[in-house]
Amino acid sequence: GLPLGHGPFLLDGQPLRLFADSMQHFRIPPNHWEQRLKLAKHMGLNAVQTLIPWFLMEPTPDAFHTEGFCDIVKFGQLCAKLGLKIILRPGPFICDGPDFGGLPWWLAQQGTPATTLPGQPAFRLRVRTSDPAYMHRVELFYTKLFKLLRSANLTAGQGGPIIMAQIENEYGSYGSDKAYLGQLRDIWKTGLGDGVVIHSTDGPSEQMLLGTRIEGVLNTIDGDPNFDLLRTVQPWVQPVMNSEVYTGALSFWGDQQFPNSPVDIAPVVDAMLCKNDSAGVAFNASFTLWLFAGVTDFGFQGGNVQGAQ
């Protein structure tokens, strides 16, 4: 696992810096997964960040699809075969790539058997909160998911590649329900077991980082690598990480604008890797390139409309 404290990440007692790519497996045809992973390996990266598509894996209440684009076990086994660690982003909200942030569409329905607790009146549940009806569905799905991952020996405590798992996504820029974050933390810890570091991430502002801050969870930062600010919010933590180093923006069919080139990104990464704190001590930062491999929203699953955010 990766124990935390006053020093770098440690893996089996040895210092580790994570140089990761973000490769969202469910937005890439499965027959291309291994080739993309090999490219990351050849580039010198040692980890992969991927998201869990709840909306695809449970398209109707109590379904559990684990084949094709949803075959997270196959993806994890490919990573293990190539010696790549996995930074898992299970959600439940996985941001604005897929529609509804990756949440299943049926969570928005009012008074269905799936969204109403036994003996309780029908009401529209409140997603991304500690609403009992919402958390009931969260716990049902993620208990199944984590059981699947552990049955395949994919977690760090089993010697597998999954070493980190994120709760929510940039929650401090959205909500303030710390009970919700705490419940996710506990489900993640119970389901994934010892050795998997539970972390959160948010944008480079004190308000955002404090909004996503919760006991027992490692804070990381997105965008501007303001590691001094990260240390202010979470002063005890020494390993620092930028969970999203942006290689480019979202694009739409017909766009003439393209992602940044390696020439644009290299100075950003170099500067981040060489950053020192106010005392002149190197941060020894870890990072994830967002995105490393291009991805596609198939059919109507895209969550962005051209000209609107």
- Looking at the annotation, which residues are catalytic? 170, 244
Other Cβ atoms within 10 Å of 289 Cβ, number: 22
Q: Which residues pair with 305 in a beta bridge?
A: 308
Q: What are phi and psi of 171, to 5 degrees?
A: -65, -30
Estimate to the nearest angstrom the gap between the alpha carbon of 270 and the chain centroid: 23
Question: Do residues 106 and 115 make contact, with C-beta atoms less than 8 angstroms apart?
Answer: yes
Angle made by CA atoms 1, 80, 164, in degrees to the nearest 5:
35
| Nearest-angstrom CA–CA distance, 33 and 93 | 23
For residue 288, give the DSSP letter: E
| Nearest-angstrom CA–CA distance, 162 and 261 | 29
| Nearest-angstrom CA–CA distance, 45 and 40 | 6
Q: Which of 250, 252, 244 has its CA nearest to residue 269?
A: 244
Cis peptide before 121 (omega within 30 of 0): no
